[in-house]
């Protein structure tokens, strides 16, 4: 039987189901392939990147091919394999309260390696992670829709095709901006990078969960709302 979210073992808490982790990494790989092949076209100096793929024309084809798993796989895996966790993730991500704004406003010292003791308590995802999730969904949708329009311009009115370009750029630049912080926190930041283990093995340290996601920890680890 699959390990339950919130299960504890050896000082660790189970945080992410296999579906969540697989979806995360498939999406990551797709995004980076799309980012590189996109830069090959977008950026005048991108020819060096293009040669990694075998030339600019191959890079353009890779961009279109990878767009399919980028658009589909994560959603299929999440809804097909872990519908409960996915619904919870979406519910938490899309419900915002004043506390979340307080969290975002007070997070700068944390980013700089300091501690802000006045941050509101987070559930399974803190406000920054919620914003990251929303941005991933919104820009992902935007990139796919504008990408289809740019790929098949003859099927769409000219004004819409022309509008697809700026929104494709806004979406990837916005997502990349968020991604810089996401990677900084999960790989470099001394107290937040413990989260990375949660996305690899599924397990995080109990202390980490208690400190960073107290509401979630109390909710799932005490049995209330336990799946």
Partner 1 sequence: MAKTLYVDTTKCLACRGCEVACKQWNGLKADIRSMRGSYQTKEGYAPQTYTLVNMRELPTDDGGVRWLFGKRQCMHCTEATCMMVCPKDAISRTEEGAVVIDQDKCIGCGYCAQNCPFEVPQVDQKLKKTFKCTLCADRVANGLIPACAKTCPTGAIQFGEREELLEKARARLAEIKGLFPNAYLYGEKEVGGAALYLLTEAPSYYGLPRAGTQVPWQVKFWKYFARPVGEIALGATALVALAGIFFTYVAKPKPEHPVAKGGSAHGN
Say whether residue 213 binds partner 1 (CB under 8 A). yes
Six token digits for residue 42? 């977008």
Binding test (CB under 8 A) with partner 1, winner from 10, 11, 118, 224: 118
Q: Considering the complex, state which of residue 87 and residue 115 has its C-beta at the smaller distance from partner 1.
A: 115
Rounded Cα gap, residues 22 and 30, in angstroms = 12
Rounded Cα gap, residues 146 and 165, in angstroms = 7
Site size toward partner 1, by CB under 8 A: 58
CB of 60 to partner 1, least distance (A): 7
Say whether residue 158 binds partner 1 (CB under 8 A). yes
Say whether residue 163 binds partner 1 (CB under 8 A). yes
What does the DSSP 8-state code read for residue 12? Answer: E
Binding test (CB under 8 A) with partner 1, winner from 80, 113, 157, 225: 113
Say whether residue 159 binds partner 1 (CB under 8 A). yes
Please, which of residues 63-102 interact with partner 1 by CB under 8 A?
A: none
* Binding region for partner 1 (CB under 8 A) out of 29-37, 71-79, 161-169, 219-227: 161-169
Q: How many of the other CB atoms lie within 10 Å of CB of 214?
A: 14
Report which of 125, 119, 117 is spatially closest to residue 102, judged by C-alpha positions: 119
Residues facing residue 203 across a β-bridge: 14
Which three-class secondary structure state does DSSP give residue 206? helix
Residue 83 burial (10 A CB sphere; 0-12, 13-18, 19+): exposed
Rounded Cα gap, residues 224 and 194, in angstroms = 25
Six token digits for residue 60? 């353009």
Q: Considering the complex, state which of residue 75 and residue 181 has its C-beta at the smaller distance from partner 1.
A: 181
Contact 171, 142 (CB under 8 A): yes
Say whether residue 131 binds partner 1 (CB under 8 A). no
Binding test (CB under 8 A) with partner 1, winner from 188, 201, 226, 227: 188
* Binding region for partner 1 (CB under 8 A) out of 9-17, 20-28, 79-87, 111-119: 111-119
Say whether residue 41 binds partner 1 (CB under 8 A). yes
Alpha-carbon torsion 114, 184, 93, 150, what sign? positive
Which positions lie near partner 1, rule CB under 8 A? 41-44, 56-57, 60, 103, 110-122, 126, 150, 153, 158-159, 161-163, 165-167, 169-170, 172-174, 176-178, 180-181, 183-184, 188-192, 194, 207-208, 210-215
């Amino acid at each position: 039987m699959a390990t339950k979210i919130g299960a504890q073992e050896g000082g660790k808490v189970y945080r992410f189901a296999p579906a969540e982790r697989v979806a995360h990494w498939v999406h990551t790989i797709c995004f980076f392939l799309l980012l590189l092949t996109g830069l090959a076209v977008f950026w005048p100096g991108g020819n060096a990147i293009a040669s990694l793929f075998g030339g600019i024309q191959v890079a353009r084809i890779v961009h279109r091919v990878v767009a399919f798993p980028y658009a589909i796989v994560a959603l299929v895996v999440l809804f097909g394999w872990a519908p409960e966790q996915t619904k919870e993730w979406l519910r938490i991500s899309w419900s915002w309260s004043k506390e979340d704004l307080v969290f975002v406003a007070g997070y700068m010292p944390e980013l700089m390696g300091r501690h802000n003791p006045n941050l509101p308590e987070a559930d399974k995802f803190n406000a920054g992670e919620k914003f990251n999730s929303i941005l991933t969904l919104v820009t992902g949708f935007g990139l796919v829709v504008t990408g289809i329009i740019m790929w098949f311009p003859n099927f769409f009115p000219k004004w819409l095709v022309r509008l697809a370009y700026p929104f494709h750029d806004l979406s990837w630049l916005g997502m990349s901006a968020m991604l810089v912080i996401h990677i900084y926190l999960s790989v470099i930041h001394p107290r937040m990078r413990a989260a990375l283990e949660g996305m690899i093995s599924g397990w995080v340290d109990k202390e980490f969960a208690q400190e960073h996601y107290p509401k979630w920890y109390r909710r799932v680890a005490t049995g209330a709302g336990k799946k």
